[in-house]
Amino acid sequence: MTSLLPLYEPQSGVLTVQYEPNEQTVLLENPPRFTWIPAQLEKDRYVLQISQSDLFIEAETRTIQPILYNLYTPDKVLTPGTYFWRYALLTEAGEQTVWSRVRQFDVQVGLPETPLPSRERRYAEANMAHPRLWLQAEELSAFRSQLAADPTYCGWDAFYEKSVQPWLQRELLAEPQPYPNNKRIAKLWRQMYMDAQEALYAVRHLAVAGVILEDKSLLERARTWLLHLCSWDALGTTSRDYNDEASFRMAGAIAWGYDWLHAQLTEEERIEVRRVLLARVRQVAHHVIDHSKIHHVPFDSHAVRSLSSVLVPCCIVMLDEEPEVREWLDYTVEYYACLYSPWGGPDGGWAEGPMYWTTGMAFVTEAMNLLKKYTSVDFYKRPFFTKTGDFPLYTFSPDTLRASFCDQSTLGDPVSLKTGFNIRQFAGVTGNGLYQWYFERVRETDTDSELKFYNYGWWDFRFDEMIYRHDYPQVEPVVPTDEHIEPVKWFRDIGWVAFHSQMADPERHIMLLTKSSKYGSVSHSHGDQNSFLLHAYGEPLAIESGYYVAFGSTMHMNWRRQTRSTNNILIDGQGQYAEKNKVLNMAASGIVEAAEQRKGYGYSRSNATAAYKENVPYLERYIRELYFFGGYVVVVDHIDLSQAGSIDWLFQTLYEMKLDGQSFKVQGRKADMDGRFVYCSSGELALTQSHSFEGVDLSEVEGLPLHWHLKATTKSARSHRIATLLVPIKHGEPKYVSYFMDDQGFDTSIYFTEDGVTHRVEVPKAY
């Protein structure tokens, strides 16, 4: 008997996909998603076996081959029970290696059923006529009939006036020029991609309107725009390697133009447009699959997003017209089915924060909708998509400002209208009225942001409105009263916890948000494990300070990403690791150990010890407890060191504070906040404040208000216990929270009283 070739089974790391499912896996959907570390760097193909027998008896075993990547989603659900799985590598010579280690998993009863149709039948019912994106041939006549009866149908009148007509008159855009000395400048980078976004608007909107109205002048103008864009150098300033944001938009523009203008183009023009589109898509596909390898290491924000913005629409319109395209589309669909989203899990969280949730969801829901209509593959049934509307609802509430973590281009502005559009999409998918309430509230507050770069350069609300109203039902809003929301919302998948009181009333709403995340400071996350934010009575009181000028700017790298910009601690002046090494970024993690609603208050306990280890190797433990009593907050910090050190307790706000002994007071426009250090084991803290952005080129924030930073420094000690009282106060409603201490025994008990109600917080003494 010929012996089989050996199989290399690398150990998984913090940045790689994992061997799943395994004995510890709690399955969330049926069938499970299978992933493993590739057995070789390239040209890897696999055979997978799934069995109810650990001996893999043939009658109880399903064998699937060839599998082209290190991930697989079965096309059939599994009967509840215990299963075993293994894989082997198929060599180019047609041989098979030995089998991998056998792993076991259990399929429970009642899981959501989310199989993925096999490659052989995935597009069997897809119509190869054009258009394929959004409305297909059989829907066009119905849309025209509705429009003839009602010119405002699905918001058509607004779309035509504001999003179509301007492009009839606009001069064709010139191809963007290179950066001076080919060195990227943020302002020019943004202008390039906004030019490309305008190109997308021109082609897509003129083409869609021209076809629906059967208007020759619109069609001819759309055709002129399309052919003009195809004359731009696909390897030039709008290529993926030069400006990926511009390249994504250019590919989308050409895809919509090719699809909707197919009948208006000559065969020679179709060939040329397809050649250009294929070249642009190939750049993106090769980067995603061969260079970024998001099926090996999934934490690449732009590469994952390019699946939605480029590969889905472009591959749909060229399916079975160019041989490479089917493979790229299969890769994309299988990634969505198996690994999406790398930034969150079944709770619906998004570790990169709500603005990157907004961007990610904007494009992925467009892609989900296109795939669902064209292939009938419905990814909305996956657990992540049924819950992800909760993430902005609880961590980016519609009345809040500067009250969420991670990179945010909209800092200081109301919650983005696009965030509202996204959550309405999930209202349409799930029927959740809370999501519809969110959308309607945001639409009321964010009324003048359409032309801001983070909207105009990314999406057209009238086009979004038209598509949604055509494809999804109107959902009745549900007001988030106490009976409808969770007072303590723990996103276990990303390590965020939100506390809320009176969410429905923006004048009385209080939100406390904290995080301690396994994602550390990777990608758009910051060195802010154990940090918190506080928004109350319409006022941002405890903020993440600074501005999101541009990714990689001095403001971004030297301030926003660093612990010193957050409401957190420094140890001997050192914060958490937040530089450029992704391995260390992920290692600089935190964990929420507990989050729950107790009798009369919300509570969380988070551990950020690992986040400081790179810079403070002598840190033994850093635990932060938060007590949310509705009208006030108590923060208790536990820091233990193997050598004596001092702690800087940091607090960030918009306003200069009034410092007095062990207290600090924020005076805002709608509310104030009284902060007091009620206990510190090493004695009184030394309070100072400043309004500088250390290490920042101030030309990046010229004309923008500076922020104020409190630093409360302890004496040197090996162990520190600090209890801090934060009391938000609505203007016109003065109040205070009284407190006293009982420190007999091994614990210090601190009693807090508001309006006759007393709560006890226990702080173990430091020895």
* DSSP annotation string for 437-473: HHHHHHHHH--S-TTSHHHHTT--HHHHHHHHHHHS-
What was the pLDDT predicted at 450?
82
Between CA 620 and CA 606 the distance in angstroms is 14
pLDDT value at residue 430: 97
Q: Which domain holds residue 656?
A: 488-764
Asked, for residue 123, whether it belongs to a domain, the answer is no
Q: At what angle do helices 137-149 and 186-213 cross, to 10 degrees?
A: 80
Give the β-pairing of 663-667 and 539-542.
unpaired
Amino acid type, 627:
Y
Specify whether the CB–CB gap between 666 and 672 falls below 8 A.
Answer: yes
Q: End of a domain among 290, 319, 340?
A: 340
Q: Tell me if 124 is assigned to some domain.
A: no
Q: In sequence order, what DSSP letters do the residues of 67-82 get, joined into one string? A: E-SSEE--SSPPPSEE
| Residues 197 and 101 occupy one common structural domain | no
For the segment 307-319, the average pLDDT, to the nearest whole number, is: 98
| pLDDT(392) > 70 | yes
Is residue 498 a contact partner of residue 607, using CB atoms and an 8 Å limit?
no
Helix (H) or strand (E) holding 431: none
Same domain for 475 and 497, yes or no, is no
pTM of the model: 0.95
pLDDT in tens, 168-208: 999 999 999 999 999 999 899 999 999 999 999 999 999 99
Residues 468 and 440 both lie in one domain: yes
Three-class secondary structure of residue 57 per DSSP: coil
Which of residues 687 and 187 earns the better pLDDT score? 687
**Which domain CATH number covers 229?**
1.50.10.100
The pLDDT tens digits of the residues spanning 504-538 come to 999 999 999 999 999 999 999 999 999 999 999 99
Report yes or no on 688 lying in a domain.
Answer: yes
Tell me how crowded residue 6 is: count the other CB atoms within 10 A of its CB. Answer: 10
CA angle (673, 675, 676) in 5-degree steps: 155
In a shared domain, residues 224 and 268: yes
- Average the pLDDT over 596-624 and give the result: 98
CA 17 to chain CA centroid, nearest Å: 18
Return the structure tokens found at 627.
């007590």
- Domain final position from 439, 457, 485: 485
Instruction: Tell me whether residue 138 is in a domain.
Output: yes
Smallest CA-to-CA distance from 539 within 372, 723, 731 is with: 731
Q: Is 47 exposed, middle or buried (0-12, 13-18, 19+ CB in 10 A)?
A: middle
* Same domain, yes or no: 494 and 563: yes
Structural domains in the chain (count): 4
Residues 6+ apart with CB under 8 A from 328: 281, 285, 289, 311, 315
Mean pLDDT confidence for 605-628: 98
Q: Which of 340, 361, 390 is the last residue of a domain?
A: 340
Write out the E strands in 483-582: 488-491, 496-501, 510-515, 532-536, 539-542, 569-571
Listed range (92-96, 274-278, 519-523) with the worst mean pLDDT: 92-96
> What torsion, rounded to 10 degrees, do the Cα atoms 619, 608, 584, 384 define?
170
Handedness of CA 418, 421, 426, 427 (dihedral sign): positive
Q: What is the pLDDT of residues 649-670, one digit of tens each?
A: 999 999 999 999 999 999 999 9
The dihedral sign for the CA sequence 415, 418, 421, 422: negative
Domain CATH number, residue 571: 2.70.98.70
pLDDT tens track for 322-367: 999 999 999 999 999 999 999 999 999 999 999 999 999 999 999 9
Could you tell me if 181 and 201 lie in one domain?
Answer: yes
In this structure, the answer to whether residues 307 and 322 fall within a common structural domain is yes
Per residue, the 3-state secondary structure of 208-250, as one string, reads: HHHHHHCCHHHHHHHHHHHHHHHCCCCCCCCCCCCCHHHHHHH
Q: What is the pLDDT of residues 45-64, one digit of tens each?
A: 999 999 999 999 999 999 99
513 plus 609 within the same structural domain? yes
Mean pLDDT of 540-555: 93
> Do residues 201 and 141 both lie within one domain?
yes
Confidence of residue 252 (pLDDT cuts 50, 70, 90): very high
pLDDT tier for residue 1 given thresholds of 50, 70 and 90: very low
Residues 93 and 161 in one domain: no
What is the spatial distance between Cα 240 and Cα 264, in angstroms, rounded to a whole number? 29
With beta carbons less than 8 A apart as the criterion, state whether 389 and 492 touch.
Answer: no
What's the confidence (pLDDT) of residue 449?
77
Q: How many angstroms separate the CA atoms of 438 and 243, rounded?
A: 34
| Tokens encoding 311 | 């590969």
Per-residue model confidence (pLDDT) at position 667: 97
321 and 354 assigned to the same domain: no
Provide the token pair at 269. Answer: 């023009």
pLDDT tens readout for residues 412-454: 888 999 999 999 999 999 999 999 999 999 999 888 778 888 8
Place of tokens 């049924």: 386
Same domain, yes or no, for 659 and 704? Answer: yes
